[in-house]
Amino acid sequence: MGTTGPKCCVVCGTEYQPRSWTPAMAPICSLRCKLVRREARRMTVDAPCSRCGTMTTLTGEARRTYERRGRAYCGAACRREAHVELSSRTMAETNRRHASSRMKARNPMHREEARETMAATLREIGHRPPIQGGNGREIPAPQVALARALGWEMQVIVPTKQPRGSGYPSHYKINIADRSRMVAVEVDGGSHKSLAIRELDEKKDALLESLGWIVVRVLNEDVDRDLPGCIERVLSCHPGVRRAA
């Protein structure tokens, strides 16, 4: 230890001459001031846990952290979970800002050899889309038969009027429709029995109904087995609906 010039006490502000001094020491002029400072550092604060809301008593460094940052934790578990959550949010925000540009710059599908390798692998394992049907495929015979019997249009496009990013496509395509009375007929095949497709069908039906459409669903097998019954079911959905002349 070495000597130095006068110091100002951090507790009472009195100027005094310390007998010895190191830069790590806080200038305190007396035992009384030392006790006052120690008691001040032991002051407690009651605050809710930032993670679970439990009221907790903070002392020492935990209290000072709360005063500086406004965060308090009732225990190590809540502190650890909060830090993990904060890290995840930070990573998500970083990815939101930079991942798209990184992927565009480094996308292996920009390389012809990578595309050829992937295509060869898919052919080798016999990959096929999990659900067959939809746009680009031949219209099923039951749908054609029901449309002809009703005299209605097929593959009628209806704009969804939903904003980009809402989770809806820009338009839905109705299998068979009477535009004037806004009656939509969906002729479903076997793929529509799966839970995932049923959920998509329900989403589509709800959107069409919100736009004023009446939606009727029939199965391919029902049309094949009982075409007149399916026609009657469609025509009975609205008093003004009839076959086209």
pLDDT given for residue 43 in this prediction: 72
What average pLDDT does the segment 52-74 reach?
A: 82
Do 46 and 24 meet the contact criterion of CB atoms below 8 Å apart? no
pTM of the shown model = 0.46
Q: Which two tokens stand for residue 160?
A: 């969804």
Mean per-residue pLDDT of the chain: 85
Q: Name the amino acid, one letter, at 118.
A: M
Whole-number percent of the chain with pLDDT over 90: 31
Tokens representing 235 are: 């025509």
Q: Which residue did the predictor score with more confidence, 91 or 239?
A: 91
Question: What are 188-220's pLDDT values in tens digits?
Answer: 988 888 888 889 999 999 999 999 999 999 999
Structural domain boundaries of the chain?
A: 141-235
What is the pLDDT, as a whole number, of residue 224? 93
- pLDDT tens digit sequence for 88-128: 888 888 888 888 888 788 888 888 888 899 889 988 888 76
Q: Which residues contact 214 (CB under 8 A, 6 or more apart)?
A: 181, 182, 183, 184, 237, 238
Question: Where does 141-235 sit in CATH, by number?
Answer: 3.40.960.10
pLDDT at 245 over 50: no
| Residue 7 clears pLDDT 70, i.e. is over it | yes
